[in-house]
Amino acid sequence: MKRFNYFSSILMTACFALALTACNKDNTTPEEEGLSGTVTEDMVLEANQTYYLSGSLQVKAPATLTIKEGARLVARNNGEVIYILIEQGAKIDAQGTAENPIVMTAEKEAEGAWGGLHICGKAHTNLGANGGMSEIGNAPYGGNDDDDNSGILKYVRLEYTGYAFDEEHESNGISLYGVGSGTTISYVQTYVGSDDGIEFFGGSVNVDHCVVVNCTDDSFDWTEGWNGTAHHLVAYQGDPTCDCLMECDNNGDNVVAEPFSHPNLSYVTLIGNNSTENSRGVRLRAGTEVTLDNAVITGKSHTINVETAHTQESLADNTSKLTNITMTGDFRNENETPSYDQDDFVSAGNTANASVEVTDRYYTPGKGAFETSTDWTEGWTR
């Protein structure tokens, strides 16, 4: 894996010299040379300006990276490893508006063009006392502060993520590593990526109004004990190579690791690609638990799949709950001796093999993420 550059070029401003160490709360001036390196003091990217990323940008405690509404961050197509990493104790404050969102994109308008956004917090994981190291940037994450605050993302769109760092590591659109509930993530989109759209690695962060479009691995993914809430979620897969709409794990190395992954999800619309090869929609496995209420799921023949003993047992004993779900395919339990099957699923008030009205790609009027028939995605998404 390539490591980030400390500086590939000198920024021609008064407050920047050989590294991206800014004067406290200094405002940066857009430069063609581009941003890269290590941020150790507060930095502000101004509203309605375009900034170029020429290498990896790594924000260290106690610095805050502030990005104002309408700012555009554009990853150069220069062969460098480019991503944004917010380390433990650092923060990002990126607040756009529906009319003027913040956009993180790339010169090369294709999946895998750059490495996306990675945030490391101090909330729990189920990896043990030492927590883990981020897949990208090799930064520590995890701890015992479930109220940890890594900042704010609001009305932010990320495009063309999924850079392949090596044969085993491609980057998600947004990666949340042990992020705490003090963090605000609301109205965010990942658009066209070659890995997951949004992935949770433990933590207790709560998210809402999230849209993932054409990320060719999984749209949403969780593991390592995430137990936050998420409401008003949309996934859309038009690309035939997209895999699961949700891939849901507790811990792939130890399916009974505690605390168990158990997010509480509601008002969800998931639109699959009708692939005969990637036919799983919501894949519950590796010991995960879940509460999922008021969802519409279509475009996957095996719409909900259950794997591993603890995952099915949590459904059978009502620790996990699936309620008010309408889906066009079937419910499948892949355990050898199922203790919760499609009959149980339907008895809980859900509907399988139904018809679902979908307009304008992913709008499901009056259902799922659009239960009030208001299209909250208008104006800031693609």
160 domain residue, yes or no: yes
84 domain residue, yes or no: yes
Which of the four pLDDT bands, split at 50, 70 and 90, describes residue 360? confident
Q: Which residue has the higher pLDDT, 276 or 199?
A: 199
What tens digit of pLDDT does each residue of 312-349 get?
999 999 999 999 999 999 999 999 999 999 999 999 99
Q: Which whole number is the average pLDDT over 249-264?
A: 98
What is the pLDDT, as a whole number, of residue 94?
A: 99
If you search the block for the tokens 């401003």, which residue do you land on? 13
What is the pLDDT, as a whole number, of residue 13?
A: 36
Q: Which whole number is the average pLDDT over 164-182?
A: 91
What is the pLDDT, as a whole number, of residue 296?
A: 98
**Beta bridge partners of residue 305, listed in sequence order:** 283, 332
188 domain residue, yes or no: yes
With CA atoms as reference, report the closest residue to 225 among 190, 189, 253, 263. 263
161 domain residue, yes or no: yes
What is the pLDDT, as a whole number, of residue 158?
A: 99
Q: Is the pLDDT of residue 96 over 60?
A: yes
What tens digit of pLDDT does each residue of 10-69 get?
333 333 333 444 434 467 777 666 999 999 999 999 999 999 999 999 999 999 999 999
Q: Which whole number is the average pLDDT over 248-264?
A: 98
How many independent structural domains does the chain possess?
1
What is the pLDDT, as a whole number, of residue 191?
A: 99
Q: Which whole number is the average pLDDT over 243-251?
A: 98
Q: How many Å apart are CA 274 and CA 285, to the nearest integer?
A: 22
What is the pLDDT, as a whole number, of residue 284?
A: 99
User: What's the mean pLDDT when you consider all of the chain?
Assistant: 93
196 domain residue, yes or no: yes
Is residue 71 within 8 A of residue 49, CB to CB? The reply is yes
143 domain residue, yes or no: yes
Q: Which whole number is the average pLDDT over 357-369?
A: 93
33 domain residue, yes or no: yes
What is the pLDDT, as a whole number, of residue 224?
A: 99
Residue numbers of the domain that contains 115: 26-217
What is the pLDDT, as a whole number, of residue 19?
A: 40
Burial of 1 (0-12, 13-18, 19+ CB in 10 A): exposed
Share of the chain above pLDDT 70, in %: 92
113 domain residue, yes or no: yes
Q: Is the pLDDT of residue 187 over 90?
A: yes
Q: Which whole number is the average pLDDT over 203-217?
A: 98
Q: Which residue has the higher pLDDT, 16 or 79?
A: 79
